[in-house]
Amino acid sequence: MAKQISCPYCESKFPNRDDLSKHIDRIHNGAGLLEGDTRKF
């Protein structure tokens, strides 16, 4: 099993740094609330 990388903000798991980076940009830095992510609001 390949080692997964955890998001430092929400601890979601990702298979590589590119996917983690996209997640952080989209959910934690970007328009997460506008896209329907209400976890931290």
pTM: 0.65
Domain that holds residue 14: 1-34
Which structure tokens are listed for 35? Answer: 């896209």
User: Per residue in 8-36, pLDDT tens?
Assistant: 999 999 999 999 999 888 888 865 555 55
Beta strands, E only, the chain: 5-6, 13-14
Whether 41 is covered by a domain: the verdict is no
**For the chain, how many structural domains are there in total?**
1
Residue 18 belongs to domain with CATH number: 3.30.160
Task: Judge whether 16 and 6 are in contact, CB under 8 Å.
Answer: no
Whether 26 is covered by a domain: the verdict is yes
- Tell me the three state secondary structure of residue 16: coil
pLDDT band of 41, cuts 50, 70, 90: very low
Q: Which pLDDT belongs to residue 13?
A: 96
**Which residues partner with 13 through β-bridges?**
6
Residue 1, CA atoms < 13 Å, CB-side half-sphere: 4
